[in-house]
Structure 1
Amino acid sequence: MSTLKTLVVLAPQPDPQHITDIAHLAEAPHLDHPHIDVVRMRGANPAHSQSVLERCRGHGYDAAFVDSGRAFADFRLLVSDMDSTLINIECIDEIADIKGIKPQVADITERAMRGELDFAAALRERVALLAGLPESALRQVYEERLKLNPGAESLLDACKRFGIKTLLVSGGFTYFTERLKADYDLDYAYANQLEIVDGKLTGRLQGEVVDAEAKKRLLVSTRDALKLKPGQVMAVGDGANDLPMLREAGVGVAYHAKPRVSAEADIAIEHGGLDAILRLFH
C-alpha cells in the first residue's frame, strides 16, 4: 500500500479545471492554495505518480510528490552541479567560443551530458582543443557570460537562512567553481583543474577527473563528515554525469535536464527556476 504524499503543482496561473482533474487523478482529498502559483494536494496517492506527472507536464506545470511533513529547512546539505544547473552556461563551450570552435566542442558536450560518451574521455578531448588560449579567456567568460540561473540566489539565500551547507560539484573547472564559492559564500566546491603554463592553457588537466562517480563520492564524504543521514541531503543536476549523486541523495532534483535525468530523478523542474525547489516544500 502506498504511503500518501502531498502533490505540489507549480504554475503561474493554473487553470482551475486542470487542478480539479489532477486532484481527481491523484485521489487527493485536500487542496491548499497557499500562493497564486502553488497548489498543494494533501493525501495524494503516489501509486498514480506517472499518470499524474504526465498530465501536469502536458499542461506545462512543474509538479512533484513530496513527503507531507517535510520542510526545506529539514535538509542539511544542498549539493549542486554547476554548468547549466547553478549557472546558465556550459563554461567549456563558452571558452571554446572565444577560440572560434564552439560548435565542435558543444556537440561533444551535449553528447556527454546525454550519457552517450565516456565523460572523462570526452572532457579530455574538449580540453585538448583549448590549448594555446590565454588564461584571460577564462576571466572573460566569468565576467561577461556566466550568470546564475533564475532562482539560484533565492535558493542559496534560503540555505544560508536555514543553516543548510552548500556543496558545488562540477565536471567543469575550478577557475569558475572557486570564484562562485567566494562570490556566493558556498561552503564547499570541487571541479577539474586546468593546466596553465606561462599564462596559457596547455590543453591538459591536472589531477583526477571529477566525473559522475567522483561527484557521488564527494556527496557521500561531505555527508559523512557532517554526520548527516541520506534523507537530509538534496542534490540538483541536469546531465547524465549527475545521476549517481542524484540517486545517492535523499531527494534528487533534475533541473531543466536531459530526458533520461528527468525520468530518473525524484523531482523534475522543467519550467520554473531553481527557487521552485523552495515552493515544493512548506
Structure 2
Amino acid sequence: MQHVITLIAPASEVASGILPGTLPARLRDALAPLGATSGAPEWLAEGEAVDIPFDGLAPEQAEAAARLVLGGAPLDLVSQPAEGRRKKLLIADMDSTIVTSETLDELAAYAGLKDRVAEITRRSMNGEIDFSTALRERVAMLKGLELSALEATWAETRLMPGATELVRTMAAHGAHCALASGGFTWFTGRVAELAGFTSHHANILEDDGTALTGTVAEPIFDRDAKLATLKRLCAELGLPLADTVAVGDGANDLAMLGAAGLGVAFHAKPVVAQSARVRVDHADLRALLFAQGYRAAEFRA
C-alpha cells in the first residue's frame, strides 16, 4: 500500500478504550466509498496507536474522511505516504515542546516580571509581534538579575512526556537529533544532555559573571535561523529534507515545520495549528514515533 493513516490515543486515555479495536474497521468502511483500498490494521501499541494502510486516495482526503469518523474524540491522526516514514534527522523546538514550560517566562519570575514577560511571549509565539524584537525586549527587562536565577529556573524545568523516548529512540536508530530553540544555550545544553540530543542551537544570553546584562548575542536565533539550521544539518548529513521530522508549537517554528518531510505542530498556538500539515493535539511526544511507524516495543527510555 502506498499510504498509511495512523490513529493515536493519549496514553492517559488508553484504559478508557478511546481507541477501540472496532475503529479501524469503521474507518476502512468510510474510505471504501471514496475509492480507497485498505489493508489490514497493524497495531503499534494495543489500544494506543494503529496503522491503516490504503491506496487510491490522497492522504489529505483520507484524513478528512477519518476526522468525520472520529467525530470529537480526542485522538490524533497522521495520514502520509508509507515510504520513507522513518526519518534520519529530528529538529525540535524546546520551550513548550521538549520541556513543559517557557524557560524565559519562568526566569522572569525571579525578577517579579513573569506576567509581563509571559504576555509578550504569548503574542510572539502566536505571530502577533516580531520574534527578535520581542526577545530583545524581554531580555532587557531582566538586566541585573543574578545568575543564581538561571539555576533555580533549571531546577524547576521538566521534560515533556514522551521527550526522552522520542529522542533516544530515534538516536538509537541512527538519527541525528537537534534541539533548535529561540531560547538560550544555557538551557538547551542541559536539556540536550538530559534528553539525549546530538546537538543544540539557540541564542546566547549575555552576563557579566554575576548577573544578566539585559542583552542577547547577535544575530538572534529566530525563525529563519531554525530553517537555516535544518537545511545546514541536511547538507552536512547528506540528507534530503524529506528525511527530516520537525516539531514545535510557536510561530517561529513555522518555517522549519513547512520545510521538513514531516512537520508536526505539537499542542501548538492557534496560528501554528492552523498552518501545519500535521497536528498532535492530544497525545504526548511519542506520537511522533508512532507517526514514523515505530512500535512501542522499540521505544528507548
Q: Same fold (TM over 0.5)?
A: yes
- Which of 255, 261, 268 is 2:279 aligned to? 268
TM-score (norm 1): 0.91
- Which of 94, 119, 129 is 1:82 aligned to? 94
Supply the distance in 2 between the matched residues of 1:31 and 1:37 (Cα, whole angstroms): 17
Supply the distance in 2 between the matched residues of 1:36 and 1:164 (Cα, whole angstroms): 28
* Residue identity opposite 1:53 in structure 2: R
TM-score (norm 2): 0.86
Query: Match of 2:216?
Result: 205
Supply the distance in 1 between the matched residues of 2:209 and 2:248 (Cα, whole angstroms): 34
* Equivalent residues of 2:5, 2:53 under 8 A apart: yes
Q: How far off its partner does 1:262 sit?
A: 2.1
- Which of 54, 59, 79 is 2:73 aligned to? 59
* Equivalent residues of 1:237, 1:246 under 8 A apart: yes
* Residue identity opposite 1:22 in structure 2: L
- Identity percentage over the alignment? 35
Which string of whole-angstrom CA distances, capped at 9 and with x for unpartnered residues, describes residues 150-169 of structure 1? 00111111122101001111
Which SS does the other structure have where 1:84 is aligned? Answer: coil
- Which of 267, 272, 279 is 1:256 aligned to? 267
Supply the distance in 1 between the matched residues of 2:118 and 2:68 (Cα, whole angstroms): 30
- Which of 103, 126, 129 is 2:138 aligned to? 126
**Taking structure 1 as reference, are residues 277 and 57 closer, same or farther at Cα in structure 2, changes over 3 Å only?**
farther
Moved more, 230-239 or 257-266: 257-266
Q: Is 1:26 equivalent to 2:31 in the alignment?
A: yes
- Which of 8, 11, 14 is 1:10 aligned to? 8
- Which of 147, 154, 157 is 1:146 aligned to? 157
* Equivalent residues of 2:104, 2:183 under 8 A apart: yes
* Residue identity opposite 2:132 in structure 1: A
**Taking structure 1 as reference, are residues 111 and 51 closer, same or farther at Cα in structure 2, changes over 3 Å only?**
farther
Which string of whole-angstrom CA distances, capped at 9 and with x for unpartnered residues, describes residues 119-163 of structure 1? 0001111111111110111111112x2111000111111122101
Q: Is 1:98 equivalent to 2:110 in the alignment?
A: yes
**Taking structure 1 as reference, are residues 254 and 103 closer, same or farther at Cα in structure 2, changes over 3 Å only?**
same
Q: Which runs of 5+ in 1 are unaligned?
A: none
Q: How far off its partner does 1:64 sit?
A: 0.8
Query: For residues 156-175 of structure 1, what are the structure 2 equivalents within 5 Å?
Result: 156-175=167-186
Q: How far off its partner does 1:39 sit?
A: 2.4
Supply the distance in 2 between the matched residues of 1:4 and 1:281 (Cα, whole angstroms): 14
Query: Match of 2:206?
Result: 195
Moved more, 186-195 or 4-13: 4-13
**Taking structure 1 as reference, are residues 130 and 176 closer, same or farther at Cα in structure 2, changes over 3 Å only?**
same
Which string of whole-angstrom CA distances, capped at 9 and with x for unpartnered residues, describes residues 167-186 of structure 1? 11110011001122233442
Count the aligned residue pairs. Answer: 277
* Equivalent residues of 1:174, 1:191 under 8 A apart: yes
* Residue identity opposite 1:256 in structure 2: H
